Structure 1
Amino acid sequence: MTKGQMEAKISEIVSKFEIEYMGRGPKTIKTYIINDMIIVRLTGFLSPSEQKLTDNPQGIELFKKVRTSLFEGGRGYLETLIMDFIDVAIVSTHSDISTKTGEKIIVITVDKNLEEITK
């Protein structure tokens, strides 16, 4: 499998997770593999009500708390989906959302250099 094919499949997996677990998929998603890191960039995944909620500081705080809690609750499911696809152990998973741009970044570190196992 090429690096590009692996990145595309991981994008599919994360999109599936976002739809099934978080309730809404992104408009665009792009995955980058860099050594032992998987970086996933999602855009356009906020619902209209979430966008409205982030119009003020209190709404932003509430939105981030809810989204962080949901992601933390589903982290194991996402990690399992990835480990079922790639034979790796997940070291850590991080996520953050920009309420300014509506962009979400997920960074996953694994126990192998993925660039060495792709062609």
Structure 2
Amino acid sequence: MRKSKGATEAEISKALTQWEKNYLGVGAVAVKSDILRNMIIVQLDHVLTPAEYSLCKDKDGMLSVKKNRNGLVESGIEQIKEIIFTITGEEVVSFHTDISTNTGERLMVFKFAKNLEAQFS
């Protein structure tokens, strides 16, 4: 039986939360995944620690936190791509991520060759 779009999105959110906890040692407070055309957009809320928020009060600290956090995620990209492939059955063509040092929110965008959303219509 094929999973619904909502069930697939929830599975992605749960898997990425678990990956964060296992790989980074800390996880987001809330995660929301959306399948949109040939992309999966993941919003992870409150991923920064209190110490990182404190560092972000000046430009050098903010740039340092962004660089370090993005580097940590990029270092685990093969694991993340495998998680997404296991859930969707599709290979990730490209991956983009950034973090807001203001809100502590991370966005991840996974792009695919196929329209994933069409599979659920």
Helix, strand or coil for the counterpart of 2:93? strand
Residue aligning to 2:90: 88
Residue correspondence of structure 1 range 1-80 to structure 2 within 5 A: 1-80=3-82
Matched residues in 2 for 1:112 and 1:16: separation?
26
Residue aligning to 1:114: 116
Amino acid at match of 1:103: E
How many aligned positions are there?
Answer: 119
Amino acid at match of 1:96: D
Deviations 1:76-113 (A, max 9, x none): 11001111122101100110001111111000001221
Helix, strand or coil for the counterpart of 2:107? strand
Please say if residues 95 and 110 of structure 2, whose CA atoms lie closer than 8 Å, have aligned partners that are also in contact: yes
Matched residues in 1 for 2:32 and 2:49: separation?
20
Instruction: Give the TM-score of the pair, scaled to structure 2.
Output: 0.93
Helix, strand or coil for the counterpart of 1:60? helix
Q: Percent identity?
A: 37
Helix, strand or coil for the counterpart of 2:76? helix
Deviations 1:38-96 (A, max 9, x none): 00001111111111111111101111111121111111110011111221011001100
Matched residues in 2 for 1:110 and 1:74: separation?
19
- Structure 1's consecutive aligned runs of 4 or more residues displaced over 2 angstroms after TM superposition are none
Amino acid at match of 1:115: E
